[in-house]
Structure 1
Amino acid sequence: MARDVQITFDCADPAALAAFWAETLGYRLQDPPGGFQSWEQALEAMGVPPERRNDASAVVDPEGSGPRLYFQRVPEGKQAKNRVHLDVRAAPGLEGDARMAALEAEAERLTGHGATRLRRHEPAPPLGAGHIVMADPEGNEFCLD
């Protein structure tokens, strides 16, 4: 039996990182619990103090097929290279110069939303199609693939 997965990010600013990844993946902020018009209203009703209202956030695939991304505040910053990372499929079906041009365009767009470009790997056929390594606003590496 296949299982659903959630991808969890430890971070300093859950709301900001959730907004970045929603923009990157075409996701949306998870809806508040039933009966509430906003998360602020729900958190107020739950008695969550204002200084704790950015302790967590989540984004979901609007079509319901992709995994939920959950962002939780932690006190420590990122210390080392990720052992697991996301590959954002920004150029499916493209090869060579067309692929790299599509990846460059997406890298430029995401840089405008707070990402940092780390390095470009040129195509190396037959197995290497080329990709760009990026970091999200809190330094978590991901690849544009």
Structure 2
Amino acid sequence: MNLEIKNFDDLTTREVYEILRVRSEVFVVEQDCVYNDLDGKDLESVHIMIEEDDKILAYLRVIKPGISYDEPSIGRVLVTCQARGRGLARKIVQAGMDYIIHNWGEKKITIGAQDYLKKFYESLGFEAVSEVYSEDGIPHVDMTYFKK
């Protein structure tokens, strides 16, 4: 199992295809959510993947400040159904947080989390900063992490 961190322009065509495939598998098919995945943010994001045998098991994108929120953000967080229960969600989100803190020198991260994952993100130090709202028919809550 290896962790890959790449800017969009450094991704291979196969990696882009695999990213879009797993995002569609989890968010569109599994969660039965029709939304525009290709929102233009990928081009300005850093992509973090946990792979095994050339398959993505976990993925997220780290988004620069001023694109989704005033602060940097983490989005499209997923673990494939075959890889769940192995602690990969915590590992990949922590990798995204570490990237933002150590590479960009940022101390504040804001995310739009699915509401059912609120306790998971709280366990990583995030705090809710909004009421629950609907995004693409799924309850979400904005959460912010402050590095002390």
Shorter-chain TM range is: under 0.3
For normalisation by structure 1, the TM-score amounts to 0.28
Structure richer in strand, relative to its length: 2
Structure richer in helix, relative to its length: 2
Higher-Rg structure is 1
For normalisation by structure 2, the TM-score amounts to 0.27
